[in-house]
Amino acid sequence: MRLSRLSPILVAVAVVAAAQCLAAAVRPPAPDVVLQGPVGPPVRLSDYKGKVLLVDFWASWCVPCKTSFPALDAIYHEYQPKGLEVLAVNLDEQRRNADAFLEQHPHRMTVLFDPKGVAPEAFGVKGMPTSFLIDKAGAIRFTHTGYSGNVDVSYRRGIAQLLREQ
């Protein structure tokens, strides 16, 4: 069959399929950074391969973080039984500032610390807070910089999509 005889629908399906394949091929892998928790051994991001992972960079001095932190913890509480992990990476240079913030914001999600800012540099963070939604293969699929009330809808949509993927 000649190409000119293909139906417009078949051509459109082929174009969409090719675009999806190309998009999958150029998904950037998440940097395999190593971070420290409050106690215990360091955590390597690649340890979470096979899970949907939300990595959020925050600091105690970040005004929007005061709202985003509890919202992300609520998302973690809702989606953790379905396979989501959330790593809240604190960037305060003084640990006591982070600890004071955490005392005021009870949470269940994992909090890690990066006072030297190695991880946000590896991720290319441009503002605070910034979150990266990483798929089961370890590729960055969605990025959110800043925080407003409608961001939760976007988080949930992306999380649901990635949890459905094999």
Tokens linked to 35:
């971070």
Residue 93 in this model has a pLDDT that exceeds 90? yes
Distant-in-sequence, close-in-space partners of 117: CB < 8 Å, separation ≥ 6:
91
Q: What is the pLDDT at residue 166?
A: 79
Which of the residues are catalytic?
62, 65
CATH number for 102: 3.40.30.10
Share of the chain above pLDDT 90, in %: 78
Total structural domains within the chain? 1
Q: Is residue 55 included in any domain, yes or no?
A: yes
Q: What's the pTM value of the predicted model, to 2 decimals?
A: 0.83
What local confidence, expressed as pLDDT, does residue 146 receive? 93
Q: How far apart are CA 4 and CA 101, in angstroms?
A: 64
Task: State the residue range of the domain holding 114.
Answer: 28-164
**Where residue 150 falls among pLDDT bands split at 50, 70, 90?**
confident
Q: Region of 29 please: left (phi>0), alpha (psi -120 to 50) or beta.
A: beta
Helices (H), 26-150: 65-79, 95-104, 118-123
Residue 13 has pLDDT above 60, yes or no: no
Contact 141, 50 (CB under 8 A): no
